[in-house]
Amino acid sequence: MGLRLFNTLTRSVEPFAPLDPAGRRVGMYCCGPTVYDFAHIGNWRTFVFADLVRRTLEFRGFIVNHVMNITDVEDKIIKRVKETGQPLREFTSRYESAFFEDLQTLNCLPPHLTPRATDHIPDILTLIGQLITRGVAYQAPDGSVYFSIEKYRGCGCTYGQLVRLNFDEMRTGERVKNDEYAKESLADFALWKARVPEDGDVFWPSPWGEGRPGWHIECSAMSMKALGPSFDLHLGGEDLAFPHHEDEIAQSEGAGVQPAGQRFVKHWLHGAHLLVEGRKMAKSLGNFFTLRDLLNQGFKGREVRHLLLSAHYRETFNFTLDGLHGARTALGRIDECVGKLRELAGPATAEPDPALVNRFTDALDDDLNISATWAAVFDWVRDTNRRLAESALSPQQAAAALAAWTCVDSVLGVGASAETGAPSDILALAEARAAAKKARDFAKADKLRDELKAQGWTVEDTPKGPKLKKVSP
């Protein structure tokens, strides 16, 4: 059947076909974090969703170029920079590093490119210049440069493709300078914001005077720089569809840089929100958990990842700690089954058992039907456990079952390590212990051994190197 995905642009599930005439290369852009604080796990739902899309595409044989920007200058950042009195880069770099650490903890594949907005000011200025030349942007009396929705629509372009807008209520020429604005304020939005005293040291020179870019133009400039003026996939959380993505389309297509007949983006994907008691998890509502909050409570990255991947990406769901405990139990069942298969398979190798892989692939192809993929996995666990209990599996069959699990886990990314069955955080502890021993810091090595023990793992030093073993409960 092939991969089918919902496209916000057409509001329908479509076969996924990249622009590449050979049908193999895929350009994918996901709006990245705004580095003014630690990302909360609502944000992480969207980034893990992007990772699922990337892994699915690779699983289906596409060669993906995955770009995720770092928004390191916008209204919220400027406000925080002013409050803390730190230089911009010093302030943002802390949250940027934390973002990459969390990305790893959640076992997300690192994007191939993570451009920062502040490293792309010349590209942003060029794009604004093109929009002015084409008559769809103008400098207002306040010195800022705005995108003119009226002029854009006058050129036969459509504003309001991802969401339906009510133009009857729009007053032409009304302007909005904030990066985030509500649907009611359908208005000309800022591309370049003239310097004001509150900006402190955060400004750059431009042909229109000193100032800083608006948030929306940053993504247009960086995505087209990295992937070309027309690319395959653009992702983000559902709150970004309007105005951020609508404005991205207007700016990118308004510059007229696409080849004839091609759109800025062929396929738009939006992930639904993570909720807390029915409301969006958001910093402004104070109802959020960061990943670090959950790690401090003893949860593992893979448990959080499992939870974030438990519902279809177009469905909201409520975050609860009970849900996380459920994720722990579910992963424990997989670990136990995979551990037994490893023991039985020993050194045997085999091709993946197609039964699990085929059912899993069909579910993924169906607009990333994650619930059906988990159903395939847990039916397989139940069936495999039964056959193990009946001693009905040969080492060869166990190896085929293991290979099937490895294959599906290349997409799910929640698995235990192939060697020992140890999850990545345990491996990290073991590696740190080995490094401490090598550095002859035996006190630290012993401390790490105790830490491993506390988490239910022993480490044996063998001639082939340290070996991890799970202590039976």
For ligand AMP, the binding residues (CB under 6 A) are 31, 33-34, 42-43, 45-46, 71, 236-237, 239-240, 273-274, 280-282
Shortest distance in whole angstroms from residue 212 CB to ligand AMP: 17
Residue closer to Zn ion, measured from CB, 234 or 306 = 234
Q: Are the C-beta atoms of 159 and 152 separated by less than 8 Å?
A: yes
Which uninterrupted H or E stretch holds 233?
strand 231-237
Comparing C-alpha atoms, which of 163, 172, 169, 204 is closest to residue 73?
Answer: 204
Structure tokens at 131: 């929009």
What letter would DSSP give residue 283?
G
Find all residues with CB under 8 Å of 326, minimum gap 6, and list them: 307
Pattern 202-221, Zn ion, x by CB under 5 A: -----------------x--
Shortest distance in whole angstroms from residue 71 CB to ligand AMP: 6
Tokens 């886990």 map to which residue?
409
**Contact of residue 254 among ligand AMP, Zn ion, none (CB under 5-8 Å per partner type):** none
Shortest distance in whole angstroms from residue 245 CB to Zn ion: 7
Q: Of residues 2-31, which lie at the interface with Zn ion (CB under 5 A)?
A: 31
Residue closer to ligand AMP, measured from CB, 105 or 361 = 105
Shortest distance in whole angstroms from residue 164 CB to ligand AMP: 20
**Contact of residue 219 among ligand AMP, Zn ion, none (CB under 5-8 Å per partner type):** Zn ion
Residue closer to ligand AMP, measured from CB, 33 or 214 = 33
- How many Å apart are CA 62 and CA 47, to the nearest integer? 20
What letter would DSSP give residue 156?
T
Residue closer to ligand AMP, measured from CB, 226 or 468 = 226
Tokens 């062929």 map to which residue?
266
Could you count the other beta carbons within 10 Å of the beta carbon of residue 471? 10
Residue closer to ligand AMP, measured from CB, 78 or 393 = 78
**Contact of residue 330 among ligand AMP, Zn ion, none (CB under 5-8 Å per partner type):** none
- How many Å apart are CA 280 and CA 291, to the nearest integer? 17
Q: Which residues pair with 467 in a beta bridge?
A: 460
Shortest distance in whole angstroms from residue 94 CB to ligand AMP: 15
- How many Å apart are CA 223 and CA 230, to the nearest integer? 9
- How many Å apart are CA 380 and CA 409, to the nearest integer? 13
**Contact of residue 33 among ligand AMP, Zn ion, none (CB under 5-8 Å per partner type):** ligand AMP
Q: Are the C-beta atoms of 128 and 145 separated by less than 8 Å?
A: yes
Structure tokens at 368: 């990333």
Told to check if 255 binds Zn ion by CB under 5 A, we report no
Shortest distance in whole angstroms from residue 309 CB to ligand AMP: 13
Residue closer to ligand AMP, measured from CB, 29 or 208 = 29
Find all residues with CB under 8 Å of 359, minimum gap 6, and list them: 376
Shortest distance in whole angstroms from residue 251 CB to Zn ion: 11
Shortest distance in whole angstroms from residue 81 CB to ligand AMP: 16
Residue closer to ligand AMP, measured from CB, 215 or 231 = 215
Residue closer to ligand AMP, measured from CB, 177 or 216 = 216
Q: Is 346 exposed, middle or buried (0-12, 13-18, 19+ CB in 10 A)?
A: exposed
Binding region for Zn ion (CB under 5 A): 31, 219
